[in-house]
Amino acid sequence: MKELSLHVLDIVENSLRAGATEVEIKIVEDSEEDLLSIEVKDNGSGMDEETVKKVIDPFFTTRTERKVGLGIPLLSQAAKAAGGGLTIESIPGHGTTVRAWFQKSHIDLQPLGDMAKTMSALVALHPEVDFVYTHVKDDREFSLNTKDMKARLQEIPVNHPLVIDWISKFIKENLDNLNGGAE
Amino acid sequence: MMAVIKSIEELEKIREQARELINLRKDNENKTRIVVGMGTCGISAGAREVLTAILDEIKKRNLTNVIVTETGCIGMCRFEPLVDVIKPDQPKVTYVNVDPEKARQIVAKHVVNNQVIDEWVIPNI
């Protein structure tokens, strides 16, 4: 993975494969603390402790009957390389929260990349899921909530091409605004 | 000067526009399905940009009889990004090592004009 937004896409895909119907994605950039954090919280099927261990380290076991993906280890590695780390909290039957944090000024921190593409891809492929994407940068923040969007769109599906295009522009403009823009 | 930031109120306008274009037919059987591989392998090989290109082409061409879905890793990671095109009553066609430019051509030639691009296809999977 070349950018953090691709990791986000990959981690959220895990949530969806675990049957999540609600996924909250929160990215926080804190200049004072020199911290960037990414949190993906879902209401999917969750995992027991043993499975969580295996998900973090795919070579923890030689068991072969179930496939364990590389998505979490890749994110964990990216976090460690940038002075951070990764935790997973999971309750079987309730859901999973993956949290990764990074030293914002670290030379090996991957760029955040294109969150507009990541979110529009997720909504296009999973219109039935409710996504909340919140991005905080110091004292500014914005969020996108597909539940609110659906209420306004009524009979128009949230994955309609015009809506997907709007989501992409909405996120781009709001991120530009967070990253400078108008005072 | 403070720029006007997009707000959710704009969705009312989008809704009006979309209502004019929407295909009210609910029968998915007559629609073409495009399936993008979105496993970790697909994503790291560029599946997101491929998907974005496909969605953009669908929007530009006002295609209303196409559904885009995803699949996970199917064990052919070195051929990712993989894109399946499934036309009604036709066998599945799998394109390998797709990039955004190829994806646009797949929509134009195969999805719209029914011409399979043989050189990018893997047979019989």
Q: CA distances (Å), A144 to each of A172, B14, B70, in order?
A: 12, 16, 23
Q: How far is A77 from chain B (nearest CA, A)?
A: 15
Q: Round to whole Å and give the CA distance between A47 and B63.
A: 40
Supply the pTM of this predicted model: 0.91
At residue B27, does pLDDT exceed 70?
no
Helices A71-81 and A4-17 cross at an angle (nearest 10°) of 150
Q: How far is B13 from chain A (nearest CA, A)?
A: 9
Cβ separation of A161 and B59 shorter than 8 Å? yes
The complex scores an ipTM of 0.90
B52 in contact with chain A, both atoms CB, cutoff 8 A: yes
Give the chain A residue nearest B68 (alpha carbons): A125
Which of B25, B43, B74, B111 has the most A C-beta neighbours within 10 Å, making it the best mutation to test the interface with A? B43
Cβ separation of B68 and A117 shorter than 8 Å? no
Task: Give how far the C-alpha of residue A89 lies from the chain's centroid of Cα atoms, to the nearest Å.
Answer: 15
pLDDT for residue A180: 81
A37 forms beta bridges with A28, A101
pLDDT tens-digit map of A156-180 = 999 999 999 999 999 999 999 998 8
Range A34-37 contact pairs with CB under 8 angstroms and sequence separation of 24 or more:
A34/A103, A34/A104, A34/A105, A35/A101, A35/A102, A35/A103, A35/A104, A36/A84, A36/A101, A36/A102, A36/A103, A36/A104, A36/A109, A36/A112, A37/A99, A37/A100, A37/A101, A37/A102
Cβ separation of A163 and B14 shorter than 8 Å? yes
Q: Which residues of chain B neighbour A153 with C-beta distances below 8 Å?
A: 11, 14-15, 18
pLDDT tens-digit map of A2-26 = 899 999 999 999 999 999 999 999 9
Q: Which of A88, A96, A111, A95 is nearest to A36 (CA)?
A: A111
With a cut of 50, list the residues of chain A below it in pLDDT. Answer: 62-63, 65-66, 183
pLDDT tens-digit map of B28-69 = 668 999 999 999 999 999 999 999 999 999 999 999 899 999
In which band, very low, low, confident or very high, does the pLDDT at B21 lie, cut at 50, 70 and 90?
low
